């Protein structure tokens, strides 16, 4: 039985404009094969657009992505391609309502040319009532790769695969298999099984899945330290909206710290929904800098990394910037927040070898989920971020007056997603970098300008430009 493998599928790049292929037939060993349970096999497939080669007079239609042929051939064309330089989608409509147990997707590589394929993709399931739910979001690391994902019996009558980014000339897919079975219409057709009603006192649920990125494994650095804070749930505070992606973003940075930075898990202070007391315990206060982080740091030896995902806000008559703990009061941020200037000052007093601060937060008082400062406030001060001291590097989601944007489905902050994918090596590749195997500060900034800034404008029509500030002293 033919199955997709979890490893990379390698194809011999032979352009099949040869004798035996010009007549529109395929060799016997690449005839259509229906995998048992594949409800997408030769189903109705439509696409946002398709690529037609004007020189070879070939059209790479959507139906080729569900034809049961994983061998890439030209004349006839056995894979779907998008036009040059475009994203798009493939819509698959099985005959009636189906229960989805697994989806398998084989990326194209445009056999013979090896010049295009899908990079980022997401899969939506649409139920009988037209409700759309994103059930899978992933990334191909290369052309010709296959991926699969199992599901807990999702009920849908249409599946859409979105191509959100691509390799080289454009996107496309070789084959999509949807493993499941047809179900009777009376079954409730919800794209994702609904959980029973939760008690009012139960905590809200937040995304947890980390950013999909593969990091090169670094040598272990037993003296380095990381503090990772993800403040998503602000229900213990007052009049402050939640930051839905903060838990997933914090988990993403933790994986990055352990893999790419070589930090041991035991050297990570990992907090979710940190209160003001917890933040003082870790970083110290304006009266004493000797918190837990100070006690863990080896003078002149440790590299220290601080990651914060959550709200920032201005407070006081001068608009000083504050990080917002999970139990803060919107009306008294100046008293219940954690002053950014205090954080920078106490980090300098660590006397670490280096300190890097990564902020998935903004300080405008506005956020994707709503206002952090009281709407009835009679005073508005322009947010003021403190000077970055020497020996600190601050990488922030945006400028003082900007909003830290999220993915459209709230799964991640745009800044964290593209910061981590850039650090995984993408920022080192052309056109952003020089391909020397190291992501430099300039390469990262260029990459963020081309991704984060673009998608914030595309999704929300707003400006968001990451800031990378290296402290130089006074």
Model confidence band, residue 382 (pLDDT cutoffs 50, 70, 90): low
- What's the pLDDT tens digit per position in 384-403? 788 899 889 999 999 878 88
Between 70 and 300, the higher pLDDT residue: 300
> Residue 143's closest CA among 117, 161, 173?
117
- What's the pLDDT tens digit per position in 442-451? 999 999 999 9
Give this prediction's pTM. Answer: 0.60
Q: What is the mean pLDDT of residues 67-74?
A: 81
CA–CA separation, 88 and 418 (whole Å): 20
Out of 55-64, 286-295, 378-387, give the one with best mean pLDDT. Answer: 286-295
- CA dihedral sign, ordered 331, 337, 342, 344: negative
The predicted structure's pLDDT at residue 85: 83
Cis status, amide bond into 367, omega within 30 of 0: no
In sequence order, what are the residues at sequence separation of 6 or more whose Cβ sits closer than 8 angstroms to the Cβ of residue 266?
A: none
If phi > 0 it is left, if psi is from -120 to 50 it is alpha, else beta; for residue 212 that is: beta
Q: Which CATH class is domain 225-470?
A: alpha beta
The predicted structure's pLDDT at residue 13: 37
Q: What is the mean pLDDT of residues 140-162?
A: 88
The ranges of the chain annotated as CATH 3.40.50.1460 are 225-470
> Residue 168's closest CA among 88, 108, 213, 80?
108
Model confidence band, residue 107 (pLDDT cutoffs 50, 70, 90): very high
> Residue 52's closest CA among 44, 43, 63, 60?
60
Mean pLDDT of the chain: 84
Output the DSSP codes for 221-267. -TT-EEEEEE----TTSBS----TTHHHHHHHHHHHHHHTS---GGG
The predicted structure's pLDDT at residue 380: 42
The predicted structure's pLDDT at residue 16: 35
**Strand 268-272 to 44-47 pairing:** unpaired
Q: What is the mean pLDDT of residues 89-105?
A: 90
The ranges of the chain annotated as CATH 2.60.120.260 are 28-182
Beta partners for 81? 172
> Residue 409's closest CA among 203, 86, 122?
122
CA–CA separation, 137 and 464 (whole Å): 23
Between 395 and 196, the higher pLDDT residue: 395
H-helix or E-strand spanning residue 271: strand 268-272
Structure tokens given for 253: 């940075």
How far, in whole angstroms, is CA 456 from its chain's centroid? 13
* Helix-then-strand count for the chain, H and E: 8, 22
User: Which residue's structure tokens are 């304006």?
Assistant: 286
| 243 touches 326 (CB < 8 A) | no
- What's the pLDDT tens digit per position in 401-456? 888 899 888 889 999 999 999 999 999 999 999 999 999 999 999 999 999 999 99
Tell me: pLDDT of 86 over 50.
Answer: yes
- What's the pLDDT tens digit per position in 220-255? 999 999 999 999 999 999 888 999 999 999 999 999
Residue 52: Cβ-neighbour burial (10 angstroms; 0-12, 13-18, 19+): middle
Question: First and final CA of the chain: distance in angstroms?
Answer: 69
- Which range is least confidently modeled, 181-195, 196-210, 260-274, 342-356? 181-195
Q: What is the mean pLDDT of residues 260-273?
A: 95
User: Which residue's structure tokens are 């998935």?
Assistant: 360
CA–CA separation, 402 and 366 (whole Å): 8
The predicted structure's pLDDT at residue 370: 55
- CA dihedral sign, ordered 13, 15, 20, 22: positive
| 381 touches 317 (CB < 8 A) | yes
| 107 touches 82 (CB < 8 A) | no
Which CATH code fits 28-182? 2.60.120.260
CA–CA separation, 246 and 205 (whole Å): 12
The predicted structure's pLDDT at residue 11: 37
CA–CA separation, 50 and 39 (whole Å): 23
Between 33 and 442, the higher pLDDT residue: 442
Tell me: pLDDT of 5 over 60.
Answer: no
**Strand 303-309 to 354-360 pairing:** parallel
Out of 63-77, 182-196, 272-286, 364-378, give the one with best mean pLDDT. Answer: 272-286
Residue 196 carries which DSSP code?
P
């Amino acid at each position: 039985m033919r199955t997709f493998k979890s490893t990379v599928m390698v194809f011999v790049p032979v352009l099949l404009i040869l004798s035996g292929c010009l007549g529109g037939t395929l060799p016997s060993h690449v005839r259509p094969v229906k995998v048992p349970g594949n409800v997408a096999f030769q189903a109705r497939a439509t696409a946002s657009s398709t690529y037609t080669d004007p020189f070879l007079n070939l059209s790479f239609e959507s139906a080729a992505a569900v034809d049961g042929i994983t061998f890439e051939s030209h004349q006839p064309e056995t894979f779907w391609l998008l036009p040059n330089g475009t994203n798009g989608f493939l819509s698959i409509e099985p005959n009636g309502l189906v229960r989805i147990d697994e989806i398998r997707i084989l990326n194209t590589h445009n056999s013979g040319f090896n010049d295009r394929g899908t990079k980022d993709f997401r899969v939506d399931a649409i139920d009988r009532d037209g409700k759309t739910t994103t059930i899978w979001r992933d990334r191909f690391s290369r052309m010709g790769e296959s991926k699969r994902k199992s599901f807990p019996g999702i009920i849908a009558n249409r599946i859409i695969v979105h191509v959100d980014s691509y390799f080289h000339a454009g996107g496309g897919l070789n084959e999509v298999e949807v493993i499941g079975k047809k179900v009777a219409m009376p079954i409730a057709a919800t794209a994702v099984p609904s959980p029973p009603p939760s008690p009012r006192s139960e905590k809200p649920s937040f995304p947890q899945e980390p950013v999909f990125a593969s990091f090169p494994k670094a040598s272990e650095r037993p003296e380095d330290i990381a503090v990772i804070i993800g403040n998503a749930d602000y229900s213990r505070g007052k009049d402050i909206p939640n930051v839905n992606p903060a838990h997933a973003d914090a988990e993403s940075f933790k994986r990055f710290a352990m893999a790419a930075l070589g930090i041991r898990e035991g050297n990570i202070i990992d907090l979710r929904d940190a209160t003001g007391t917890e933040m003082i315990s870790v970083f110290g206060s304006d009266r004493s800098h000797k918190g837990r982080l100070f006690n863990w740091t080896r003078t002149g030896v440790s590299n220290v990394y601080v990651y914060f995902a959550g709200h920032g806000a201005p407070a006081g008559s001068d608009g000083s910037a504050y990080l917002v703990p999970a139990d803060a009061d919107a009306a008294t941020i100046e008293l219940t927040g954690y002053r950014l200037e205090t954080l920078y000052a106490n980090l300098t007093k660590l006397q670490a070898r280096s300190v890097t601060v990564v902020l998935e937060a903004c300080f405008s008082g506005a956020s994707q989920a709503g206002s952090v400062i009281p709407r009835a406030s009679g005073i508005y001060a322009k947010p003021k971020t403190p000077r970055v001291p020497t020996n600190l590097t601050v990488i922030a989601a945006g400028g003082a007056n900007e909003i830290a944007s999220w993915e459209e489905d709230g799964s991640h902050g745009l800044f964290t997603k593209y910061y981590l994918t850039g650090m995984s090596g993408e920022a080192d590749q052309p056109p952003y970098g020089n391909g020397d195997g190291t992501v430099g500060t300039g390469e990262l900034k260029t990459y963020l300008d081309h991704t984060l800034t673009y998608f914030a404008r595309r999704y929300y029509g707003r400006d968001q430009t990451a800031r990378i500030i290296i402290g130089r002293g006074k």
